[in-house]
A and B are shown apart, each in its own frame.
Chain A
């Protein structure tokens, strides 16, 4: 077993724990949805499907650029790989900015549980639960995304500064796995928080 394989092995174990970490939150979301379906749908109708879809597009594209970065590195085109990694980070940033505008809108509508939940809100009571789950899950996802951006940025910076550019292969493999995982989480968050039961 070579080092690269061992590194991926460790990363997959970590991602397995992450599946259960987010999985628990998804279960909580679905249980609440099941217990108060009408209230939840009322909350869900405040979501902007267009922005959600654009963000899904942005993240899917970032996964694609990340996969191509790996491909370029493995086929001895480090310059191209660097450009693709920077593109990936920029796409992550675009995602966060779009998510931020959504949060801003929720703030204007006083839809932030505990901090700014309008007392005269016409929303049914359990809708506060929807927004609670929404913020917890999307903020945790955004945190993961930010960590991913930071790691990709750090390693590509170190790689470009190095006088003897070592082999970034195994590290890049794992960065890619982590990034795709963050994308996977969003792939399931998007239908859960924007689409299901909307109509």
Chain B
């Protein structure tokens, strides 16, 4: 499995340019009054950068299934952590508590 392909310098340079573009975009966006959209926009762009770094710099694009599975599993556990914690906090004050 060491026959993993490496990206050409050209690809790496393009990825770097893409990352800088996204950085410029997120900083520019932060100067506009986006209100509630501020969070999804900033994190959407951050996720875009993360995908570029993960697929190309960390070479997940050319890795086999098991390594990709580890990366996806880590994200799955993270999403469980987020989902259950926020499931609690976001609804904590919306219902009357029984017996209160």
Q: Does chain A bind chain B?
A: yes
Q: A residues near B, CB below 8 A?
A: 1-2, 4-5, 8-9, 12-13, 15-16, 19-20, 23-24, 27, 30-31, 34-35, 49, 53, 56-57, 60-61, 63-64, 66-68, 70-71, 74-75, 176-177, 180-181, 183-184, 187-188, 190-191, 194-199
The answer to whether B53 and A195 have CB atoms under 8 Å apart is no
Pick the contact of B70: A2, A12, A34, A71 (CB < 8 A). Answer: A12
Given A53-B27, A71-B7, A180-B53, the answer on whether A195 and B38 have CB atoms closer than 8 Å is: yes
CB distance from B5 to the nearest CB of A (A): 10
The answer to whether A180 and B39 touch (CB under 8 A), given A61-B16, A190-B46, is: no
The SS class assigned to the A binding surface is helix
- Chain B interface (Cβ within 8 Å of chain A)? 1-2, 4, 6-7, 9, 12-13, 15-16, 19-20, 23, 26-27, 29-34, 38-39, 42-43, 45-46, 49-50, 53-54, 56-58, 63, 66-67, 70-71, 73-75, 77-78, 81-82, 85-86, 89-90
B6 near A60: Cβ-Cβ < 8 Å: no
Give 18 A-B pairs besides A16-B71, A180-B53, A188-B46 with Cβ atoms closer than 8 angstroms: A2-B2, A12-B71, A19-B78, A27-B85, A31-B85, A34-B90, A49-B27, A60-B49, A67-B12, A70-B6, A71-B6, A177-B58, A184-B50, A184-B54, A187-B46, A191-B26, A191-B46, A196-B42
- Tell me the bound Cα distance from A63 to B53 in angstroms: 8
State whether A60 touches B71 (Cβ < 8 A): no
Given the interface contacts A53-B23, A68-B12, A199-B33, does A16 sit within 8 Å of B70 by beta carbon?
yes
Q: Which residues of B contact A183 (CB under 8 A)?
A: 53, 57
Given contact pairs A12-B67, A71-B12, A191 touches B42 in the complex (Cβ within 8 A): yes
Say yes or no: A2 contacts B1, CB within 8 Å. yes
Of all chain A residues, the one with the shortest Cβ separation from B39 is A196
